[in-house]
Chain A
Amino acid sequence: MALAPAATLAVFFFGMRALWLMLVSVGVAVGTEALIQKLTGRTISIRDYSAAVTGLLLAFNVPASLPLWIVAIGAIVAIGIGKQVFGGLGNNPFNPALVARAVLLASWPAQMTAWVAPFTFLTTATPLGALRLEGTKMAYSSLFLGAIPGSLGETSALALLVGGLYLLWRGIIDWRIPAGFIGTVAIFTTFFGGDPLFHVLAGGLLLGAFFMATDMVTSPVTKRGRLIMGIGCGLITSIIRLWGGYPEGVSYSILIMNALTPLIDRYTQPVRFGGATK
């Protein structure tokens, strides 16, 4: 439900293509989960909506011009490899939607980076891409409202903030991850001469910080651990954006921090009651 504003705007900006991509992604994700669970004799759990959310988040991560069959493959990878192979809900070490995105990006790099502008569908560079290749910066208001090129879900900062704040208000996500993530990106980019407001609003940062890094299954269990994860994501994202080979670093930073989560858990164990005064 928190993704609804972003979803609506995606359709608004990118038209029916967006709707189709979302429907196909969700449908295939849910279908894959049901099929795998049936074949392996487990109870079919699609009613918990976790597969549907994964499908939607995957769609949010792709350009509006992506062929439907590619996003379908992505959904199969997300659920099949990113989730069910590990044992289903709760057992996956990596965020399934991001696993799929990484696979798609590696397999079909051209289609996965064919960003189009909203309404016109002309192939255009994203704000981060433009910054890197041409040095031009898009206006803050465009970044905020979202009528800019980018993947389906990441364009409108406003819509994402509304959804993110809703999740915080309902207590569904821990504030430490988005705060650590966004805060670190802002501070780091300022320190190295970038424009913090631009970096916060551009690219997949808000989508990643509020909706993807916060996935409980793949993030640490302790409060300190979550803060560390947020900061870690922020550092890696900033480094990739400023000096790495890609214009955008959010998905990789989250996947890397997902991998480090068990380690973080080990080292941020709480001191049990009475343990400090041994």
Chain B
Amino acid sequence: MARAKTFTGGIHPAYNKDRTASLAITRAQVPKVLVFPLSQHIGAPCQPLVSVGERVLRGQKIADSEARISAPIHSSVSGKVIAIELRPHPSGKDVMAIVVENDSLDELAAPIAGSKRIEQLSSAEIVNIVREAGIVGLGGAAFPTHFKLVPPPQAKIDMVILNGAECEPYLTCDHRIMVERPDDVVQGLRLLMKAVGVNKGYIGVEVNKPDAIDALNKACAAYTDVQVVPLQVKYPQGLELQLIKAVSGRELPSGKLPADVGVIVNNVGTAAAVAEAVLNGCPLIERVVTVTGSMVDKPQNLLVRLGTSFGDLLAECGLNGQPGKVIQGGPMMGMTQGNMSVPVTKGVSGILALSEAESAPLEAGPCIRCARCVDACPMLLQPIFLAQFAERGLLEQAEAYHILDCRECGCCSWVCPARRPLLQNIRLAKSAILAKKRR
């Protein structure tokens, strides 16, 4: 087996995955009311295709958009639309949403694709089904997948890479998908490869998931054009640039897209969803979410219907007391949530309930120029200076030191022995610089 690959920099946080890494995916309870925000993806929000009072079926398209970068939204239950109004959203803002009352019948809408085999499908057909299924990046970014599959004509794509790194602590949803549904992942990869017309597919998996690597190896055995690439366990191995570097050796220049170096990257969950949609005709209406954290008695990897609220899931997993923080996603790059009625949207990979003690803010000491942040930054930037410039409002200098290349992974804040809020300061400066540019 090839030596596990990696990139420069990075950190090794405590992973805390033991409570859920070996738990098989189980179906979450389906609530009475589900909320479908019209914006669950990068790109233009959708317009509703149904009206209040109308009955909808499970898998029926209920919202869509004419914009090129967008993805339709489907209902995950059958029932009645009881409202179309502003609702809290995991992004922190209130967003227009279609609210459906579940009639518990689970009546299915017509499938969105016939059951053809990969060989019978053309590239255009695959892309079309992916769009119709409303598939977006399930790793958290939620970028409409169909748009990624049609790169600009001048880009010469030669490989598809699947991201099975799952480098964030606590999260194990991708891990379980790889262990329990390796064939779906591999079929999804081959579909993506057919869609962009390449014959090389790689699945990058960190070596702390040997069961996933085994399962995927078996699933790939029948094919010569796909293989598993073991990766060193390091955060943030799952960040796109670092993944591409580790698997292909190619370094993505600043401001460019993976397609510019010949690569298309997708999450393993997204690949499995593509297989579900193209081969079984199912649109994206549910996803695996890891619900865990010290405040949860029964952590689980749940297969959740989109639209289920965080509160419902935390209750199902035995939330024990008032958490200090509830985070959507992972602890490094996830977003803290204030309202437990927010629904699970396409980009939600985890719900973490941390205790007060774990979430208490740390007191910052002075910077002693130890430069651990410089050593840890996977983008090879110098957080020590970026944060300093940010604190002093020296935005031009910050830009000259490439602050806009920061991927906000959080390695710097994590490693700082003086507990300085480096990432937070960098984020403030970045948004100030971008706001100025927009004017």
Contacts and interface: CB of A to CB of B under 8 A. Distances in A.
Nearest to B407: A273
Nearest to B250: A277
Given A221-B382, A271-B380, A273-B405, A88 B366 contact: yes
A216 B251 contact: no
A40 to B, nearest CB: 14
Interface in A47-95: 48, 88-91
Interface in B377-415: 378-382, 384-385, 401-402, 405
B379 A273 contact: yes
A35 B180 CA distance: 65
Given A88-B366, A91-B366, A221-B371, A272 B251 contact: no
B380 A270 contact: yes
B365 interface: yes
Given A271-B380, A272-B379, A273-B405, A89 B368 contact: yes
B364 to A, nearest CB: 12
Contacts of A269: 382, 401
A217 B365 CA distance: 14
Contacts of B141: none
A261 to B, nearest CB: 9
B369 A216 contact: yes
A142 interface: no
Contacts of A278: 253-254
Nearest to B373: A221
B374 A273 contact: no
B26 to A, nearest CB: 39
A221 B375 CA distance: 9
Contacts of B252: 273-274
Interface residues of B, number: 26
Contact of A270 (B253, B254, B366, B374): B374
A32 to B, nearest CB: 18
A221 B365 CA distance: 18
A113 interface: no
B50 interface: no
B56 to A, nearest CB: 45
A216 B368 contact: yes
A221 B251 contact: no
Nearest to A225: B371
A275 B365 contact: no
B369 A272 contact: no
B241 A273 contact: yes
A41 to B, nearest CB: 16
Nearest to A277: B253
Contact of B405 (A222, A274, A276): A274
A269 B367 CA distance: 19
- The interface centre, meaning the residue of A221, A273, A278 with most chain B CB atoms within 10 A of its CB, is A273
B254 A272 contact: yes
A274 B374 contact: no
Interface residues of A, number: 22
B256 interface: yes
Contacts of A273: 241, 245, 251-252, 254, 378-381, 405
Interface in A250-278: 269-278
B124 interface: no
A216 B384 CA distance: 13
Contact of A274 (B254, B370, B382, B385): B254
B367 A272 contact: no
A274 B8 CA distance: 12
A88 B366 CA distance: 9
Contacts of B380: 270-273, 275
Interface string B110-145: 000000000000000000000000000000000000
B374 A221 contact: yes
A90 B366 contact: yes
B371 A274 contact: no
Given A221-B369, A277-B251, A272 B374 contact: no
Contacts of A91: 366
B245 to A, nearest CB: 8
B238 to A, nearest CB: 15
A276 B251 CA distance: 9
A227 to B, nearest CB: 13
Interface in A213-248: 216-219, 221-223
A272 B383 CA distance: 12
Contact of B253 (A48, A216, A223, A275): A275
Nearest to A219: B369
Contacts of B401: 269
A221 B254 CA distance: 23
A37 B285 CA distance: 61
Nearest to A276: B251
Interface string B336-376: 00000000000000000000000000000111111100110
Contacts of A223: 375
Contact of A275 (B245, B254, B366, B378): B254
Given A272-B379, A273-B241, A273-B379, A90 B371 contact: no
A275 B245 CA distance: 13
A278 B245 CA distance: 16
Interface in B211-270: 241, 245, 251-254, 256
Contacts of A88: 366
Given A88-B366, A216-B370, A277-B251, 6 more contacts: A89-B366, A216-B368, A221-B385, A270-B374, A274-B252, A275-B380
Interface of B: 241, 245, 251-254, 256, 365-371, 374-375, 378-382, 384-385, 401-402, 405
25 contacts: A89-B366, A89-B368, A90-B366, A90-B367, A91-B366, A216-B370, A216-B371, A217-B368, A217-B369, A221-B371, A269-B382, A270-B381, A272-B254, A272-B379, A272-B380, A273-B254, A273-B379, A273-B381, A273-B405, A274-B252, A274-B254, A274-B405, A275-B380, A275-B402, A278-B254
